[in-house]
Amino acid sequence: MNGWRGMLLGGGLLMAIVTQPLQALTLQSPVERVNLLELYTSHGCSSCPPADAWLRKLESHPGLWQRLIPVAFHVDYWDNLGWPDRFASPAFSKMQRDHQRQGAIRSVYTPGFVLNGREWRQWFYRPQLDLQANEEVGALTLKVESGTGATLQFSPEPHLNGVKLEAHFAILGFGLSSPIGGGENHGKTLKESFVVLSHTQTPPQQGEWRFPWPQLSVNDAERLAVVAWLSRPGNSEQVQAAGGWLP
């Protein structure tokens, strides 16, 4: 695969890889807040494949990365329905429950969309994104350092000076194909993109955040991207987001 390399660890069918960028990369958001679209999904949910397919189409969105960042979190609470989701994590299920606890969504379900920290049910009756101009919050710069990790720097507008923010860093996988051998989607081969393969969150602070390069358990992505976003503690709405393709 171009631009990144995997080191196989251990043996067996499921091997861990450590993705390492082969070159430094700098990604920067505009000053206006970038829209963050979260999808909570599962291989064990028969209603989810249409949502996953719709999300894949956003790869060709003209505002991808500069106006819109989609991410797909696979939850684990349907894993007991006959087929465990290979991308699922209890931490992603907790994130969705945190959205409910913080008042962003009314209930926990899949497929579930959250747009800019609020439940987005429009997909169920008119799956079209109407992105409006957002407020100016400041530029977020994501620097990927060759072989080591990533650094996140925020230059806030005056009304955000001194605000301590949590930082999120994720690696997304694209062109992933998963044959399903049981459960509600038995016999299907699910094709997905924007899949969160790794997510790291930091405690609240100001100015700059550092992330080590993560270990992944998936090595069949056709392409990878990196994304990051900031949020206030206890608040589902992002302050700013940045991201882009790994070359």
State pLDDT tens for residues 146-155: 768 999 999 9
Q: How many domains is the chain partitioned into structurally?
A: 1
Q: What percent of the chain has pLDDT over 70?
A: 91
What pairs with residue 8 in β-bridges? 17
CA distance linking residue 180 with residue 207, whole number of Å: 44
Classify residue 80: in a domain, yes or no.
yes
pLDDT tens per residue across span 94-140: 999 999 999 999 999 999 999 999 999 999 999 899 898 899 999 99
Classify residue 64: in a domain, yes or no.
yes
Classify residue 223: in a domain, yes or no.
yes
Give the Cβ contact number of residue 111 at 10 Å.
20
Residue among 167, 163, 158, 189 at smallest CA distance from 176: 189
Range of the domain at 219: 33-135+169-198+215-229+236-245
The CATH number of the domain holding residue 117 is 3.40.30
Give the Cβ contact number of residue 237 at 10 Å.
15
Classify residue 162: in a domain, yes or no.
no
pLDDT tens per residue across span 6-41: 333 233 223 334 455 557 899 999 999 999 999 999
CA distance linking residue 49 with residue 54, whole number of Å: 9
Classify residue 78: in a domain, yes or no.
yes
Position 14 scores a pLDDT of 31
160 falls in which pLDDT band (50, 70, 90)? very high
Classify residue 109: in a domain, yes or no.
yes
- Mean of per-residue pLDDT scores for the chain: 91
